[in-house]
Amino acid sequence: MNTGLTQIINGNVITPHEILFNTAVLIRNGSIEEICRDNEVREGAQIIDARGQYVSPGFIDIHVHGGAGHDFMDGEKDGFLEIARLHARHGTTAMVPTSLTSGKDQLIALLKTYGEAEKDNTDGAAFLGLHLEGPYFAMNQRGAQDPRYIRDPDPAEYEEILKYAHLIARWSAAPERAGAMEFGRRLREKGVLAAMAHTDAVYEQVLEAIASGYTLSTHLYSGMSGVSRKNAFRYAGVIESSLLLDEIDVEIIADGVHLPAPLLKLIYKVKGPEKIALITDAMRGAGMPEGESILGHKDDGLKVIIEDAVAKLPDRSSFAGSVATADRLVRTMLRTADVPLLEAIKMMSQTPARIMGQQHKKGAIRKGMDADIVLFDNDIQVSLTMVGGKVVYRTAR
């Protein structure tokens, strides 16, 4: 962490409520000390000249699987660190590394690797805890998740995994599976965020899930039920429930491929920026050329193909993760969903910070907050990324 005094000058500073033009930000000991409207250079400060660029709160990606040719499921510390560096180059200052469905022993090994990597992660996006995506999912909503590992929540299994609860930030599951409500209540007791994902639940089950601790809808529209009919009667699914119920936050893969413009606009109109987190859901192909790749562990993961700026199953029947970075998400919301910059940034910073319980120190440029800051131009091209007051990425000027 930077222990000196740094001042970013000549910036258009994005605050929670407005953009302050020709303004400076003073940083001391890794935290924001002051927003300086006079833009006057402070004595002894190391100067970063924004040159009229936007000075934004760092992007927070709460659902990411990999990048730069690495996947967290590889279980390699160096891979963790390289993923963090890759996404930092695109404005991400904090992330929640995410798993895929797998066996108990592999998940525990992954948690141990995460613990090691967290200690050495000094040059990339900070880690906020691990996201276990699965394995307690609905089989016919599995998408690209490996069916070999999909199963009901088993207390004997998840209690052993929850011995590492201090490393787990969130866990996604299908609430309609046998034992999933008890599982959600147990996550709440352990301080782990419970999310609904890869699920066939209906509205009544979603209501029960909320009461059991599930408060987040994982990658809305992807791998979840919509309206269904049983014995001629219609039932609202997780999609409609997530849009309707204020108790539920949603995350969306705003890469411009997973969700077309009408759905992005609908979600924004119904939920608003205070309830939406933009996520990359990026797999190892992020930052890599198009072509063949692997989703999950490099040795036994699922073969996929990257084309049209997205990962697909080889038969092209389904998407298999995104290759987006956070800057692309912001651009998509601006250009495709017609969202104002201030609110697009909120969905990439302040809202995900609140969802993850980090709002007291991350997600906004405000006195006392962590100095997690990104500089970018009108095209959201990132020129500098700062994590805890330390510059971890900077373009040559």
CA distance 277 to 255: 13
Tokens of 168: 């787990």
Residue 318 DSSP one-character state: S
Residue (of 150, 149, 136) closest to 300 by Cα position: 149
Instruction: Report yes or no: 153 and 183 within 8 Å, Cβ to Cβ.
Output: yes
Cα 137 to Cα 134, 144, 201, 205, 391: the distances in Å are 6, 12, 11, 14, 40
User: Tokens 């606009």 appear where?
Assistant: 265
CA distance 282 to 328: 11
Residue 296 DSSP one-character state: S
CA distance 284 to 84: 12
**DSSP H stretches of helix in 92-217:** 104-120, 155-161, 180-189, 203-211
Residue 232 DSSP one-character state: T
200, 281, 327, 372: the catalytic one is 281
In the residue annotation, 300 being an active-site residue is answered as no
Residue (of 300, 323, 301) closest to 312 by Cα position: 323
219 a known binding residue?
Answer: yes
How crowded is the C-beta side of 75, counted as CA atoms within 13 Å? 15
CA distance 207 to 390: 44
Task: Classify the C-alpha dihedral 309-313-317-320 as positive or negative.
Answer: negative
User: Tokens 């992660």 appear where?
Assistant: 121
Instruction: Report yes or no: 378 and 332 within 8 Å, Cβ to Cβ.
Output: no
Residue (of 80, 21, 89) closest to 58 by Cα position: 89
Instruction: Report yes or no: 50 and 378 within 8 Å, Cβ to Cβ.
Output: no
198 a known binding residue?
Answer: yes
Binding residues: 133, 198, 219
Binding residues for Zn(2+): 133, 198, 219
Give catalytic residues, as residue numbers. 281
